[in-house]
Amino acid sequence: MPLIAPTATRVTSNTAPEVNRRIHQDMLGRVARLAAEGPEAIDERLSALDREWDVERCLETGAASLSLIGAALGATVNRKWFALPAGVAAFLLQHAVQGWCPPLPIFRRLGVRTADEINAERAALKAVRPGVQTVLPLAAAVAPAALRTPSNETLSEPVAEDAELLRP
């Protein structure tokens, strides 16, 4: 693992390949199902995607919460609680630099996605929306590009296979 991971792939590079694959396949299945259900279902899902929390937001919220709790307990119960915010800060720094921290594998196994993965689903849904057929090749390329292994190989091979799944 490099000392400083590339921003775009730091989370997926630190996620087990089978988890990345499952998240990607779930997205493709959802897009195919919603394409069959019609434009209202697609619009509803696009609205839900606007509210979906990405893994960074979940990690930041958890870190801030634990830091505040540790500081409050350190100030009111026992000074040893001040170790909690220090530990959280260290792991948050590690995540910022390398892309890994202890809760990351848990969040990813629970299906919490990166912003790129959420945006890939958004692009694919817009591409399969009736009347927007010209964007399909771009959406099919964007969706798998959001999921790269540490060696920078696309997890979904080939891209054309994804395009067929997304074609209405």
pLDDT in tens, the chain (168 residues): 567 878 889 999 999 999 999 999 999 999 999 999 999 999 999 999 999 999 999 999 999 999 999 999 999 999 999 999 999 999 999 999 999 999 999 999 999 999 999 999 999 999 999 876 554 555 555 555 544 444 444 454 434 455 555 554
Q: Are residues 77 and 33 in the same domain?
A: no
Predicted pLDDT at 144: 52
Q: Are residues 44 and 122 in the same domain?
A: yes
d(CA 27, CA 11): 17
Q: Are residues 102 and 128 in the same domain?
A: no
* 123 Cβ contact list (under 8 Å, min separation 6): 135, 138, 139, 142, 143
Overall domain count for the chain: 2
Chain-centre distance of CA 91, in angstroms? 19
Q: Are residues 129 and 48 in the same domain?
A: yes
Predicted pLDDT at 156: 44
Q: Are residues 15 and 62 in the same domain?
A: no
Q: Are residues 129 and 147 in the same domain?
A: yes
Domain span at residue 12 reads 1-52+115-168
Predicted pLDDT at 119: 97
d(CA 88, CA 28): 35
Q: Are residues 145 and 134 in the same domain?
A: yes
